[in-house]
Amino acid sequence: MEFINIIIQILLFLSLFYFRIPIDNIYYNSPSKKLDVIDHYTFNIIVYINLFLFLSFLNLNINNILITFFIFLFFLLTFNITNFLAQLKQITQNYFLFIILFIVLIVISIDISNSITLGWDAQKFWIHKTINFFNNGTIENLKHLDKGDGYDYPYLGSLLWAIFWKISFLKEEYFGRLFYGFIYIVSILSLTNRLNSSLYSKKILFLIILLLSYDYINFAGEQDILLFSFMAFTASLCIKLFRPLNDRELIFNLFLLVLLCNLLIWTKAEGTVYAFIIILSLIFCLKIKKKIKIFLSISLVALIINRILVYKVYNLNIGVNSCCWNDLSIMGIYSKITFDRIFTILQYSIFAFLKNYLIIFSLILFIIKKNKFKNFNNNLYNYIIILLCLAFFFTAYILTDIDLIFMLKTGLDRLLFSITPFFIIIIIDYVNDNKLQFR
């Protein structure tokens, strides 16, 4: 019975996010050109999750959020029934892709259902928010959580967890976390879709990334898997942005990028820093009009202000976690920058890198790549993003006021995992530059 419900839940994900918003004519000048299945899934996931988030800002409970969402889907289907019937035909044309997606989701879902232990952070922080939303609490109710339960942390992951827990048939908590597996798989497919190779090569790379990155602990209620997925969607968009695009395609993809930055900001505290780094890197490296760069800057500021205003309206704390960075005075900072602390951070960083097989794989390919500096400017944005993220990690650890080794042991692996998609770009770039075809 449980296995049947897992299959039903997977089919729900595949069908729910297949209701296509009619954007092909917006994206392409030619009515005959269509976005492929993975790009449409990516677009729908980004837009639908932002819709869930926006409805939560209105202090709606989860039942009202779902009612509003399904009304939206009903009108979407009603006014685009012809387009939807044509989309059903595409399922038969891409049946092998759906079979792979379905099988991989079943395997991951079975693993999640058989290992239902929550991670420490999930038990301490995220599950309390999830239960609040599941029991029809709103964002305003988060202020009643104990301060030790992380009531001031971003809540997007808990909201999604509660939504898909609510619409599951068995009403088991882990059914909500199955959505984490779905978005994780689609985000990897979105990245491998940027390969300039055969479909078979994309499938092989997809399986390699999956095998090197999957670990149940990422689905034990921690939010880092969402950061990884949103960063993977962002990395995929960045690759597209540095390819030839007409003005319509450029604006469309930048719009999606802004929506992704919004999701990063509402997932974890470091997501705000990631959003800032990504926008800054693109403004510096992307050859676009000055007014578009201004638009990106204003958009980022508006998203951060929105986060502050929402938390102010509902009397939630918007401060940085005060337990970890209490003394940021000049003398306090100076006293923390010591050789021993720097050496400790570097030592644990090496260990963390060695445990991340995708990062090791990407660095090996970068080293053996011929003419690695010839097209350096084409991938400058990627190197800047990686270096700034690493600099952010180093700064956060060097300035912490709590036990440094404890912080490094419990957090560094997850931080590196969340930015791994930008190391995957190095792998994709290597395959594209060498015109590799897996046979």
Which is nearest to 167 in space by CA: 65, 26, 238, 278? 65
At residue 181, does pLDDT exceed 60? Answer: yes
Q: CA–CA distance from 49 to each of 24, 79, 156, 237 (Å)?
A: 20, 22, 9, 17
Map out the domains of the chain as residue ranges: 2-321
- Average pLDDT of the chain, as a whole number: 86
- Count of residues for the chain? 439
Give the pLDDT score at 18: 78
Banded model confidence at residue 29, pLDDT cuts 50, 70, 90: low
Over pLDDT 90: what percentage of the chain?
Answer: 52
**Mutual orientation of helices 339-355 and 380-398 as an angle, nearest 10°?**
130
Alpha-carbon distance 205 to 209, whole Å?
Answer: 6
Alpha-carbon distance 234 to 55, whole Å?
Answer: 23
* Cα 86 versus chain centre, distance: 30
Report angle CA 181, 186, 189 to the nearest 5 degrees: 130
Report angle CA 87, 90, 96 to the nearest 5 degrees: 140
Alpha-carbon distance 2 to 169, whole Å?
Answer: 10
Higher pLDDT residue, 256 or 145? Answer: 256
Residues 296, 254 contacting (CB under 8 angstroms): yes
Instruction: Please identify which residue in the block is written with the tokens 């989860």.
Output: 62
Instruction: Please identify which residue in the block is written with the tokens 């999930």.
Output: 122
Banded model confidence at residue 100, pLDDT cuts 50, 70, 90: confident
HEC profile for 284-317? HHCCCCHHHHHHHHHHHHHHHHHHHHHHHHCCCC
Higher pLDDT residue, 299 or 379? Answer: 299
Give the pLDDT score at 68: 95
